[in-house]
Amino acid sequence: MFLFHRLSPLLQRTQQGTLRLATLRTTDVQSVLERLGSDRTLLKESVLIGCSEQNQVQFCLDVGELDQASVEELCGGTFINLRKAFFLLTGAEAPLVAKGQALLRWHQTSGFCSSTGEPTHRNQAGSQRVCNRSSIIYYPKMSPVVIVLVSDGKRCLLGRQSTFPQGMYSALAGFCDMGETLEETLSREVAEEVGLEVHSVSYSSSQHWPFPQSSFMMGFHALVSPAHSQVSVDLTELEDARWFSLEEITWALQVKTPPTRGDPAIAFWLPPKHAIAHRLITEWTDRQTH
């Protein structure tokens, strides 16, 4: 079982000094609840998120009603904000944390039927909620988002929002509007954010992303004409956007961990390996070198 405290996952430090997702047995969680004076019925709020390769059922539970420091002491770990945790976890653990947090958040914000106003009730696994009065079944939802790596053939375009960690640049992204195709969203977002017209759009891959509140990211590559590659940044959308050479990107891909704040040796850095933006950047780099 994986524990969260107000949607922040519990991590533990390994002997090598790295952090990993804390995995607890149900009996261990029961013991923690009892020692902190909580009713063990809280376990009924746990949500099924999958099954491990060792055929072990995986659940997550938010213990936000308990004292954070006490839970951390008993479990030998630390609750860390999800955005920070994403840069500290391995590729295999990050999707588990993302799915768990998304489902827990959905349950916390979907307690009432939008049609009748009556309370909704979850099924045993936590995969749906139902309104007994209207019989409406609610399922977890994700918001569709297009993310695109724009290139002029020799360079790629990266931008950063003010909410990004200091120095991090990523591919451009935006939510799909009602009635739009993915291609229309892609073209609109690039035009709005950096003033460029794209062509030769190609699909790459997709990914669930827990930010801001559970998104479904669909990744693309797109080209712009080198003759019309002057960037005009919409500062209401982005803090900055600029072209990066293959040499700059190749260097940035070698930065393994987020740099120390203000590190003069790190000019910029990229999203973590398990982020679809990192995959798009790696794909672009491979195409340039082959």
Coil, helix or strand for 207?
strand
Do 90 and 125 have their domain in common?
Answer: no
Do 15 and 33 have their domain in common?
Answer: yes
* pLDDT at residue 290, as a whole number: 79
Do 148 and 281 have their domain in common?
Answer: yes
Do 117 and 76 have their domain in common?
Answer: no
Do 62 and 199 have their domain in common?
Answer: no
Do 264 and 163 have their domain in common?
Answer: yes
At which of 88, 119, 141 does a domain end? Answer: 141
Do 97 and 36 have their domain in common?
Answer: yes
Amino acid at 27: T
At which of 93, 123, 141 does a domain end? Answer: 141
Question: In sequence order, what E strands does the chain have?
Answer: 2-5, 8-13, 19-21, 47-51, 57-62, 78-79, 121-122, 129-130, 137-138, 143-151, 155-160, 172-175, 199-209, 215-223, 240-245
- Total domains present in the chain: 3
Residue with tokens 């803090």: 239
Do 99 and 172 have their domain in common?
Answer: no
At which of 141, 160, 192 does a domain end? Answer: 141
Do 285 and 148 have their domain in common?
Answer: yes
Do 174 and 130 have their domain in common?
Answer: no
Do 213 and 265 have their domain in common?
Answer: yes
CATH value at residue 55: 3.90.79
Q: For residue 62, with 0-12 CB atoms within 10 Å meaning exposed, 13-18 middle and 19 or more buried, which class applies? A: buried
How far apart are the C-alpha atoms of 82 and 84, rounded to whole Å?
A: 5
The pLDDT tens digits along the chain (290 residues) read 999 999 999 999 988 878 899 999 999 999 999 999 987 789 999 999 998 888 889 999 999 999 999 999 999 999 999 988 888 887 789 999 999 999 999 999 999 999 999 999 999 999 999 999 999 999 999 999 999 999 999 999 999 999 898 889 999 999 999 999 999 999 999 999 999 999 999 999 999 999 888 999 999 999 999 999 999 999 999 999 999 999 999 999 988 766 666 566 567 899 988 899 999 999 999 999 87
Range of the domain at 152: 143-289
CATH value at residue 200: 3.90.79.10
C-alpha of 151 from chain center: 24
Do 257 and 150 have their domain in common?
Answer: yes
